Amino acid sequence: MLVTHISASLFLISSALTVQARYVGYNAASTELYRRGESECRNMDTDFAKTTEGWVLQRGSTTETYDITDEGLTMKILKPTEYEEHYEPLVDNKVPGKLKYNEYEGKGFTFNATTLMHYGKFSATLKSAKVPGAVTAVILIADNGDEIDFEFLAGPKKQITSNYFYGPRIVYGENGKVIDAPKGNAYDQFYTYSIEWSPEKVVWKIDNNVIRTLTRDETDPKNGTEPAYPTHAARVQIGLWDGSGVSGTAQWARGPINWGEQDGPIEAYIKNVKIECDPKYN
Ligand SMILES: *[C@@H]1O[C@H](CO)[C@@H](O)[C@H](O)[C@H]1NC(C)=O
Ligand SMILES: *[C@@H]1O[C@H](CO)[C@@H](O)[C@H](O)[C@H]1NC(C)=O
């Protein structure tokens, strides 16, 4: 029952960064930047210990939400200064108790790659955040809503979600697959997460081992309707965000974040991101 309720709430929200992206909108300067880069995919191999060139902060993120260190990029959720915890009554009378959420969200971090990729591969070497309620994500997101994701939750098990969305007909809770980290967890050690995307299939890998394959064919309803498969040029987004602001999301994210136990910002770490455009389509 509880699970049913949680899932129902979750279906109302989109995946992590989509929600954030829709909240914050975008500014004219960066839109212009994309327009310039839109026609071609640029291979990128960013070592964040050395540079952030080729990346732009999503509006709403500020320079305080990240640091560059010898290890790479430290992404942060800043502790909200006006933190209070609130409880939201449930609509579903069959569920006892109340789901928690935080009134104030910590300010998170999102970087957009300044190139669009239309098929190809990207890899990110990262350590996710270990605080429940914080969501680490590396995703491909297209303007039409197509999306291919890796998302990371805190907690001992099932931390890693591979997911995708077909922009014209978004369904929640159906396309995600949840797994454990290969050894231990996703927040104590670096793994390299990759997504290989072609017109025929999407392959999710961890340290070069395939963890999931989705074929275009299996998304084809074979009734004359287009396959529910991501086909639009997309940009890589990396980020760390606070999932505590809506009770259903907070529940999904294993939060809300308990800022009372949290002295400073919450952190996740990315060493590098590599984007390899498929020359046939870019
Ligand atoms: C970042 O990407 C999102 C999702 O595609 C887009 O909506 C947004 O405008 C971009 N933000 C910036 C600052 O470029
Ligand atoms: C085909 O199947 C899809 C997915 O089940 C459905 O959304 C769509 O409405 C169907 N289209 C037709 C023409 O029956």
Q: How confident is residue 192, by pLDDT bands cut at 50, 70 and 90?
A: very high
Quick: pLDDT tens for 145-162.
999 999 999 988 999 999
The pLDDT assigned to 86 comes to: 62
- The verdict on residue 282 lying in a domain is no
- The verdict on residue 243 lying in a domain is yes
What are the CA-CA distances from residue 211 to residues 49, 150, 161, 193, 216 (Å)? 28, 11, 10, 10, 17
Quick: pLDDT tens for 223-236.
999 999 999 999 99
Query: Could you tell me which of 253, 38, 232 has the C-alpha nearest to residue 151?
Result: 253
The pLDDT assigned to 71 comes to: 87
How many percent of the chain have pLDDT more than 70?
81
Domain count along the chain: 1
Q: Please enumerate in sequence order all residues whose Cβ is within 8 A of that of 35, keeping only pairs 6 or more positions apart, or say none.
A: none
Distance 225 CA to ligand 2 centre (A): 6
Distance 221 CA to ligand 2 centre (A): 6
Distance 222 CA to ligand 2 centre (A): 8
Any idea which ligand is nearest the CA of 226?
A: 2
As a whole number of angstroms, the distance between CA 156 and CA 183 comes to 11
Ligand 1 contacts CB of residue 59 (under 6 A): yes
The pLDDT assigned to 59 comes to: 85
Once rounded to an integer, what is the mean pLDDT over residues 231-253? 92
Distance 206 CA to ligand 1 centre (A): 26
| Residue 178, both tokens | 């949840």
* Distance between start and end Cα atoms, the chain: 47
The pLDDT assigned to 22 comes to: 33
Burial track 113-134 (b if 16+ CB lie within 10 A, e otherwise) = bbbbbbbbbbbbbbbbbbbbbb
Distance 15 CA to ligand 1 centre (A): 15
- The verdict on residue 183 lying in a domain is yes
Q: Pick the atom of ligand 1 nearest to 142's CA.
A: 5
Any idea which ligand is nearest the CA of 25?
A: 1
Once rounded to an integer, what is the mean pLDDT over residues 205-233? 97
As a whole number of angstroms, the distance between CA 64 and CA 60 comes to 11
| Residue 82, both tokens | 């006006």
- The verdict on residue 237 lying in a domain is yes
As a whole number of angstroms, the distance between CA 52 and CA 49 comes to 8
Per the structure, the complete domain to which residue 114 belongs is given by 2-277
- Indicate the length of the chain as a whole number: 282
The pLDDT assigned to 68 comes to: 96
Quick: pLDDT tens for 20-52.
433 333 333 344 444 444 457 999 999 999 999
Half-sphere exposure of 87 (CA within 13 A, CB side): 5
Q: Is the pLDDT of residue 251 over 80?
A: yes
Q: Pick the atom of ligand 1 nearest to 17's CA.
A: 4
Q: What is the CATH number of the domain that holds 130?
A: 2.60.120.200
The pLDDT assigned to 97 comes to: 60
Q: Is the pLDDT of residue 4 over 50?
A: no
- The verdict on residue 188 lying in a domain is yes
Ligand 2 contacts CB of residue 62 (under 6 A): no
The pLDDT assigned to 17 comes to: 44
Q: Tokens 């969305």 — which residue? A: 165
- The verdict on residue 168 lying in a domain is yes
Highest-confidence range of 143-147, 172-176, 262-266, by mean pLDDT?
143-147
Ligand 1 contacts CB of residue 56 (under 6 A): yes
Between 7 and 108, where is the model more confident? Answer: 108
Q: Is the pLDDT of residue 107 over 60?
A: yes
Distance 98 CA to ligand 1 centre (A): 34
- The verdict on residue 58 lying in a domain is yes
- Whose Cα sits closest to atom 14 in ligand 2? 223
Say if CB 187 and CB 202 are below 8 A apart. no
Any idea which ligand is nearest the CA of 19?
A: 1
The pLDDT assigned to 35 comes to: 45
Any idea which ligand is nearest the CA of 29?
A: 1
Query: Could you tell me which of 10, 7, 15 has the C-alpha nearest to residue 230?
Result: 15
Q: Which of 174, 225, 226, 229 to mutate to test the pocket of ligand 2 (most atoms within 8 A of CB)?
A: 225
Which range, of 51-60, 131-140, 243-252, averages the lowest pLDDT? Answer: 243-252
Ligand 1 contacts CB of residue 65 (under 6 A): no
- The verdict on residue 118 lying in a domain is yes
